[in-house]
Amino acid sequence: MDKKFIFVTGGVLSGLGKGIAAAAIGALLESKGLKVTIQKLDPYLNIDPGTLSPFEHGEVYVTDDGCETDLDLGHYERFTHVRTCIDNNYTTGRIYNNVITKERRGDYLGNTVQVVPHITDEIKEAVKSAAKQEYDAIIVEIGGTVGDIESLPFLEAIRRFRYDVGRENVLYIHLTLVPFIKVAGELKSKPTQHSVKELREIGIQPDILLCRSEMPLSQEVKRKIAMHCNLDEYSVIAAVDVDTVYEVPIWFRSEGLDKQIEKKLNLQLPEANLVVWEDVVRRIKMPKEVANIAIVGKYIGLKDAYKSLIEALIHGGIANDAKINILWVDSEEIEKKGPENMLFEVDGILIPGGFGNRGIEGKIMSARYAREKKIPYFGICLGMQIAVIEFSRNVCALSANSEEFDPDAKDKVIYLMEQWYNHRTGNIEKRTKVSQIGGTMRLGAYPCILKEGSKAHEAYGVTELSERHRHRYEFNNHYRDILISKGMSITGLSPDGELVEIIEIKDHPWFLGCQFHPEFKSKPINPHPLFKAFISASIRERRSLFK
C-alpha cells in the first residue's frame, strides 16, 4: 500500500483544536490497524519553542531525542503509539535556516533563492522526513489559520505535494467553526463558507470538513455547508464539544469520519475498535474516588503552560478510578498568606517545573507544609530542587539556595551543571554561565537506576528506566551525605551514580521529587507509574482525613 498523507488545516480562528483533531484521527486509524505518525508544521520564525515564554506559547514538549517542540506533539503521543522526534515538528525558522545553510554551502548552484520553489520544496522535504519509516499514514497539522500571511508557504507546499505523491495518496481535512448564535437560536455556516473559499483561492479543495460546534449539526445544516463548499454532505463532520478530549475519537467514528477517510483514500480497513477509549471515557465520567490536588506555580493564569501535567494527573485519576480536582495556587500568594491558609483542604501538593526566582519562597513554604503535615508531595524538575532546598534549610540548618536564584548563596545545594555524558551521542556535553540559552539544557531521555525498596521502585516495578529531562541545574553532590544523614533518601541515580534523579523522605507517607518530567510519557491508556502512585497516596490521605 502506498503511504497516505493527511493534511489538517484550520480556519476562521485559532484555538479550535487542530492538534486534538489530528491526534484523534491518528487514534482512529490505529484502531483500524494502520501504523501512523503525526507531524506539526509551525509558521513562526523561532527555530523551536525552547526559548518562548509559556505565556506566549504554552508548554514546551520534550521528545526522547531532546527536541523542544510544540505542545501538540504531546497530544499526538497521548492519543497514539507515535514516539515523536525532531522530524515531527518543523517551524518556519528551521525551514529558512536549512535553506540559508544550503545557499551558503552552494547547494543551489548560483540560483536566486526564493520562497517558491526553494522554501516550499524544503517544506515538502520536511514532510517526507516524517515518512522515512514504514508508516501507512502520515498526518500533518498545519499551524496557524488559513488567511495568515505566515501560513502561505506551507499551504502552497501541501497544495503541490498532491502532485508529487499522487492525488489518490493525499487528503485535505479542514477544521472550521460553526458558531451558535443564541439570540437567533441557530447555527451559522457563513464563517465556514468564507474559510473554505479562502482555502480554495490558494488552490486547495478540502476533502473533508470538521465543523467545530457547541452542538450536533442537523442534516439540513450539513447539506447547506456541503453545497457552498463543493462537497457531499457526508464529508461534513460535526466536531462538537465533548466532556473529555479522549471522547473525540469515539465521536468522530459516530460521525463516520473513518469511513470517509477510507473512501477518499481508497482504503479497505476493518471496523474501528475503540474499546480502550470507551473504557477511558467511562472511568473519567464515572469515578469512584476524588482527589483534590494543588498545583503550586507561577504560570497558573495560562493552563496550557502545564498541559501535559494536567493530562498526566487525569491519567493518574483514570488508573485509580478517581476524579481529579485541580486547585491552581499562585506561589506568590502563598508568600503573602501562608500555606496553611491556602493548602489546608488539599489531598496532595505538586510543584512542577519552571524557571526564574519569582514565587520561589512560596514554593519552598509549600514543600515544608507538605513535609511537616505529611501531605503527599510530588516535585517535578524545579519541584524536586525546591524540596532539596527546603529540607537543607529547615532540617539540615544550611543557608541553602539554588545557584539559579542566588549565585552568592553560602550553600548552593542546587548548582549549574557544566558538563554531563550524553548517552545518545556518546559525547560529553559542556555548558558555562555564558552559553547561549537555546538548546543548551540537559534535554531528552536519559537512563535512571532505582534503589530497591523505595517508593519510586514500588511505583515503577523495575530498577532501570528512561525519562525525559529539560533542566540546567542539578543536585550538588557535595551535600549528599548530610541530607541522607538527616532523613532524605536518594532513590534514583544516573547509571554512573553522579546525577541525582529522584529524592524521597523516609518518614513520610509519600514525598518524592524527580529531576525529570514524567508527565511527557503518560498516556490515558498507560498512565505514568509516578502519577498513579501520587494519586493513590492522595486518595489515602483523603480517606484518613474523613475517618
Residue 68 has pLDDT above 90, yes or no: yes
Instruction: Give which of 487, 522, 480, 482 is closest to 501, Cα–Cα.
Output: 480
From 250-264, 420-434, 528-542, the region with the lowest mean pLDDT: 420-434
Residue 434 has pLDDT above 60, yes or no: no
What's the pLDDT score for residue 419? 60
What's the pLDDT score for residue 354? 87
Burial class for 185, CB neighbours closer than 10 Å (0-12, 13-18, 19+): exposed
Instruction: Give which of 187, 189, 178, 234 is closest to 207, Cα–Cα.
Output: 234
Please, what's the b/e burial string for 391-429 (b: 16 or more CB within 10 A of its CB; e: otherwise)?
Answer: bbbebbebebbbbbbeeebebbbbbbbeebeeeeeeeee
Instruction: Give which of 31, 6, 104, 25 is closest to 275, Cα–Cα.
Output: 31
What's the pLDDT score for residue 66? 93
Which amino acid is it at 249?
A: P
Residues 143 and 93 sit within 8 Å (Cβ to Cβ): no
Strands (E), 11-60: 36-42
Nearest-angstrom CA–CA distance, 35 and 41: 20
Residue 543 has pLDDT above 90, yes or no: no
* 8-state DSSP, 115: I
Mean pLDDT of 245-274: 97
Mean pLDDT of 305-324: 97
β-pair type (488-493, 500-505): antiparallel
Q: Quick one: pLDDT band at residue 424, thresholds 50, 70, 90?
A: low
From 10-19, 365-374, 509-518, the region with the lowest mean pLDDT: 10-19
Of the two residues 429 and 219, the one the predictor is more confident about is: 219
Residue 435 has pLDDT above 80, yes or no: no
Nearest-angstrom CA–CA distance, 96 and 119: 7
What's the pLDDT score for residue 433? 56
Polymer length in residues for the chain: 547
Residue 439 has pLDDT above 80, yes or no: no
What's the pLDDT score for residue 303? 83
What's the pLDDT score for residue 425? 60
Residue 192 has pLDDT above 90, yes or no: yes
Nearest-angstrom CA–CA distance, 9 and 207: 11
Of the two residues 300 and 258, the one the predictor is more confident about is: 258
Of the two residues 58 and 438, the one the predictor is more confident about is: 58
- CA distance readout (Å), 437 to 68, 169, 440, 441: 13, 41, 6, 8
What's the pLDDT score for residue 185? 82
Q: Quick one: pLDDT band at residue 184, thresholds 50, 70, 90?
A: confident
Mean pLDDT of 49-70: 87
Mean pLDDT of 394-404: 96
What's the pLDDT score for residue 209? 98
Nearest-angstrom CA–CA distance, 422 and 400: 29
What's the pLDDT score for residue 52? 83
pLDDT in tens, 288-298: 999 999 999 98
Please, what's the b/e burial string for 222-253 (b: 16 or more CB within 10 A of its CB; e: otherwise)?
Answer: bebbbeebebeebbbbbbbeeeebbbbbbbbb
What's the pLDDT score for residue 358? 85
Residue 141 has pLDDT above 70, yes or no: yes
Among 182-196, 410-424, 524-538, name the most confident range: 524-538
Q: Find all residues with CB under 8 Å of 523, minimum gap 6, and list them.
A: 77, 78, 315
Arithmetic mean of pLDDT over the chain: 93
What's the pLDDT score for residue 429? 62
Burial class for 373, CB neighbours closer than 10 Å (0-12, 13-18, 19+): middle
- The widest CA-to-CA distance across the chain, in whole angstroms, is 79
Q: Which residue has the cell 491526534?
A: 23
Phi, psi of 269 (to 5 degrees): -125, 160
Q: Quick one: pLDDT band at residue 57, thresholds 50, 70, 90?
A: confident
* 8-state DSSP, 59: P
C-alpha cell at 100: 540559508
Classified as helix, coil or strand, 375 is coil
- Residues labelled catalytic: 381, 517, 519
Mean pLDDT of 262-284: 96
Q: Which residue has the cell 544550503?
A: 102
Nearest-angstrom CA–CA distance, 348 and 376: 5
- The separation between CA 231 and the C-alpha centre of its own chain, rounded to angstroms, equals 34
What residue ranges define each of the domains in the chain, with the CATH number in brackets?
Answer: 4-279 (3.40.50.300), 287-546 (3.40.50.880)
Residue 37 has pLDDT above 70, yes or no: yes
Nearest-angstrom CA–CA distance, 14 and 21: 13
- The separation between CA 96 and the C-alpha centre of its own chain, rounded to angstroms, equals 25
For residue 240, the number of C-alpha atoms closer than 13 Å in the C-beta half-sphere is 16
* 8-state DSSP, 441: S
Instruction: Give which of 512, 544, 509, 508 is closest to 530, Cα–Cα.
Output: 512
Mean pLDDT of 329-348: 94
